Amino acid sequence: MTTVVEGIGVHVRAVTPTAARAQADFRALLNVLSRPGELDTVGRGDGSGNGRARGDGPAVLAVAAGLADVEVPTAVLTAPGDEHWERALHLGTSAPPAPPHEARMVVALRPPAAAEIAALTKGDALHPEHGTRLLIAVEGLSRADGNVPGEVVLTLSGPGVPGTRRLRVGGLPREVFEALVEANDGFPAGIDTFLVTADGTVAGLPRSTRIEIENGEH
C-alpha cells in the first residue's frame, strides 16, 4: 500500500504547477484564445524566471491542473495504461471527476473521438459560459507554410484574426476538427479548445473562430 501511495504522489507532483507557473500559463491561454492561430508557451520555468517548472508530467495535464479546482467537474480521456494521470489530476486539484458529457473541463491525453466531442456540453445562447473547456494533447503545432502529408492544416478567421491565419496540427485526425466545427455551429454556445504539445507550445481555438480544414487524413 505504501508503494502505491508513493507512486501516485509522484504523478500528482508531476502535474501540479506552482502558483506562479499556473498564473503564467493562464496568461498564455488568454493570449492564444484572443489570437486564434498564434502560438505561445506554457509550463516552462516556475513562472518567476527561476528555471524549470515543477514536475515532468504531460504538459496538457499540468495546464489543466492550473485551471481545475473543486468547482470544476473534470474528465480526463486517457489511453490504456495512462489512467494514473487522471487520478493524479483529481487528487492534486480536488476537481470532482465527471463523465465527459457532464464535465466543465475535458482533458484529452489521446485524440478524442468525434462522438465524444459531439456529446460535450456547449451551453446555450443565454449561458454560453457553461460550454466545455477542451484541452487536447497534440504532437506538433506550427504556423503553416505549405502542406505536410498526414498533418491537418487549418485556415482560421473571425474575431482576433486579421484576415486569416493558417495553423498546422500534428497528431490529430481531421475528424476532430470537423466535430469542433459542428459543435461550434450554434455560437455563442460551443466549446473553447486548447491544443498543447509535449514541449508546452499552445494554440487556442475559441468557439467564435471559423475553421476551414485544408487537408488531413481520416
Which tens digits make up the pLDDT trace of 104-146?
999 999 999 999 999 999 988 888 888 999 999 999 999 876 5
Q: What percent of the chain has pLDDT over 90?
A: 63
At residue 53, the pLDDT reads 41
Q: In the structure, what pLDDT confidence band is assigned to residue 189 with cuts at 50, 70 and 90? A: very high
CA-to-CA separations, 149 to 6, 14, 137, 152, 170, in angstroms, rounded: 43, 34, 20, 8, 10
Is the pTM of the predicted complex or chain greater than 0.85? Answer: yes
Contacts of 45 (CB under 8 A, 6+ apart): 21, 24, 51, 52, 53
Q: In the structure, what pLDDT confidence band is assigned to residue 6 with cuts at 50, 70 and 90? A: low
At residue 48, the pLDDT reads 47
CATH number for domain 2-213, candidates 3.40.50.2300, 3.40.50.11310, 3.30.70.270, 3.50.50.60: 3.40.50.11310
In the chain, domain spans: 2-213
At residue 18, the pLDDT reads 83
User: Which residue is listed with cell 486579421?
Assistant: 162
Q: What's the one-letter identity of residue 54?
A: R
At residue 202, the pLDDT reads 96
At residue 147, the pLDDT reads 58
Contacts of 198 (CB under 8 A, 6+ apart): 58, 59, 137, 139
